[in-house]
């Protein structure tokens, strides 16, 4: 329940920062399953998901900070069609959103897989209920991305002249996080071999 309830609360938020914050609460509650699994898969899973969550959430919060720096609002209703004006930022933010809900090839996927593998020893029912929370995470993450970067252009809220893509410094900072998100295969192989 601690994993599903924050995911449900994230649907009712209109502040982008609060949506990511409730996503963080949901992921940490999901990591609790591995603490009670009492096997090596659960321990590997909690290590991977905590590392992946730290990198992914930091990247998501930096992206929100970039948007707030330009437009002085975090309310989701004021954003639309940013993929037209900020294509580089939209691609990099998509990778971090994919990592947020555990897309294969990211840190969070490996962590969630090992947690589910270790949690089967506790109860299949708990694992089945936690997959419902994972599906909710997928839905609100994609809804957040779709609402910000796609949809009809609302000229009433934001002025076109303020649209600008990432600066060189912002691009390098986010690129470092994206590189770490996608480097999970190397870390996973080293952990499993030890």
Band the pLDDT of 145: cuts 50, 70, 90: very high
Highest mean pLDDT among 24-38, 100-114, 129-143, 166-180: 166-180
In which residue are the tokens 């990591």 written?
31
pLDDT > 70? residue 186:
no
Which has more confidence, 193 or 77?
Answer: 77
Token digits for 129?
A: 């209920």
Domain of 155, in residue numbers: 4-193
In whole angstroms, give the CA distance from residue 112 to residue 101: 9
Domain count of the fold of the chain: 1
Q: What is the pLDDT of residue 121?
A: 79
Token digits for 40?
A: 């090596």
Q: What are phi and psi of 75, to 5 degrees?
A: -75, 130
Q: What is the pLDDT of residue 65?
A: 92
Band the pLDDT of 155: cuts 50, 70, 90: low
In whole angstroms, give the CA distance from residue 6 to residue 128: 17
- The answer to whether the Cα torsion of 94, 57, 39, 191 is positive or negative is positive
In which residue are the tokens 């071999």 written?
193
Q: Chain-wide mean pLDDT for the chain?
A: 83
* SS3 assignment, position 1: coil
């Amino acid at each position: 329940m601690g994993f599903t309830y924050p995911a449900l609360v994230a649907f009712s938020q209109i502040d982008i920062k609060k949506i990511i914050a409730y996503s963080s609460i949901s992921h940490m509650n999901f990591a609790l399953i591995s603490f009670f699994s009492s096997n090596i898969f659960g321990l590997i899973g909690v290590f991977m998901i905590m590392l992946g969550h730290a990198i992914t959430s930091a990247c998501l919060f930096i992206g929100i900070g970039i948007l707030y720096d330009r437009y002085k609002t975090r309310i989701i209703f004021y954003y639309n069609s940013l993929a037209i004006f900020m294509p580089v930022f939209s691609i990099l933010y998509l990778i971090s959103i994919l990592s947020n809900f555990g897309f294969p090839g990211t840190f969070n996927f490996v962590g969630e897989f090992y947690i589910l593998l270790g949690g089967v020893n506790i109860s299949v029912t708990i694992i089945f209920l936690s997959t419902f929370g994972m599906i909710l995470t997928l839905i609100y993450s994609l809804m957040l991305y779709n609402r910000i970067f796609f949809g009809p252009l609302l000229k009433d809220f934001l002025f076109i002249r303020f649209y600008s893509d990432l600066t060189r410094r912002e691009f390098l900072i986010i690129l470092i996080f994206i590189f770490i998100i996608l480097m999970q295969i190397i870390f996973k192989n080293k952990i499993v071999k030890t």
